[in-house]
Amino acid sequence: MTIQNNKVVAMHYSVSDAAGNELDSSAGGEPLVFIHGSGSLIQGLEAALVGKQAGDKFTVEVAAADAYGERHEELTQAVPRALFEGMEVAVGMRFRAAGPDGREQSVIVLDVTDDEVVVDGNHPLSGIDLTFDVEVVLVRDATEEELAHGHAHGMDGHSGHGH
Question: Would you state the pLDDT for residue 104?
Answer: 82
End-to-end CA distance of the chain: 29
Domain check: are 114 and 137 in the same one? no
Domain, as residue range, for 45: 7-68+126-149
Q: What is the CATH number of the domain that holds 106?
A: 2.40.10.330
Question: Would you state the pLDDT for residue 159?
Answer: 60
Question: Would you state the pLDDT for residue 158?
Answer: 67
Domain check: are 116 and 133 in the same one? no
Mean pLDDT by 10 residues, the chain (163 residues): 96 96 95 94 96 98 96 92 89 82 85 94 94 98 92 79 51
Whole-model pTM: value is 0.81
Within a domain: 161: no
Question: Would you state the pLDDT for residue 98?
Answer: 73
Helix (H, G, I), strand (E, B) or coil at 131: strand
Question: Would you state the pLDDT for residue 18?
Answer: 92
Domain check: are 112 and 134 in the same one? no
Our count of domains for the chain comes to 2
Domain check: are 11 and 64 in the same one? yes
Q: Is 92 exposed, middle or buried (0-12, 13-18, 19+ CB in 10 A)?
A: exposed
User: Following DSSP, what letter does each residue of 25-64 receive, concatenated?
Assistant: E-TTSPPEEEETTSS-S-HHHHHHHTT-BTT-EEEEEE-G
d(CA 26, CA 29): 5
Question: Would you state the pLDDT for residue 160?
Answer: 52
